[in-house]
Amino acid sequence: MNQITQLLRRVADGDEKAANPLLELVYAELRRMAAGKMAGEQGGQTLQATALVHEAWLRLGGDQQPTWENRAHFFSAAAEAMRRILIERARRRSAARHGGGQARLNLDDLELGNAEPDQRMLAVNDALERLAADDPKKAELVKLRYFLGLPLTEAAQSLGISVPTATRWWAYARAWLVKEIQAERA
């Protein structure tokens, strides 16, 4: 059993001595993930990895953490919290950049790979929400990979699936998302 899972269970059972080592382990892991994600963001970034982790921690419950089943459950919730923070931020920045209006971006003139990071993230998020309605497990894998920046092996471990399964799901989800985003352009 993973050390984080063991500490999560001890905390759930009321062991107050497990809280500090859990926080240290989880914080370090979340900080590493957030730093990896923030490294891919555009220059002039005002949101720092530490701030992203702190905001995610607060959204997860802060000092009043719910009972987590295991490491996968916790990091899945953390990925969702970070995704929502980044999407909300991208929407705010996009609205401010366009005078507060929701001007549509003409993707026919702009390749998604060359899109501004905020627009690309919003397009991925919109398509991801549709994927989640169709296949929640694959959508969860995308959240862990795209929004948390987990390597495929760690994402597979977090979801409790094999690496070959995660590889297949990742290939399928990427192709599905590209198709959805391109269909939106048309």
List the chain domain ranges.
Answer: 3-185
Which residues lie closer than 8 Å to 91 by C-beta, 6 or more apart? 122
Query: Per residue of the chain (186 residues), what is the pLDDT tens digit?
Result: 678 888 888 877 888 787 778 778 888 888 887 777 776 665 555 677 788 888 887 888 766 677 778 788 888 888 888 888 888 888 887 765 555 544 444 434 434 444 567 777 788 888 989 999 999 999 999 988 887 888 899 899 989 999 999 999 999 998 898 888 888 766
- DSSP letters for 125-153: HHHHHHHHHH-HHHHHHHIIIIIS---HH
CA angle 128, 181, 123 (to 5 degrees): 60
Backbone phi, psi, residue 42, to 5°: -65, 160
Q: pTM, whole model, 2 decimals?
A: 0.56
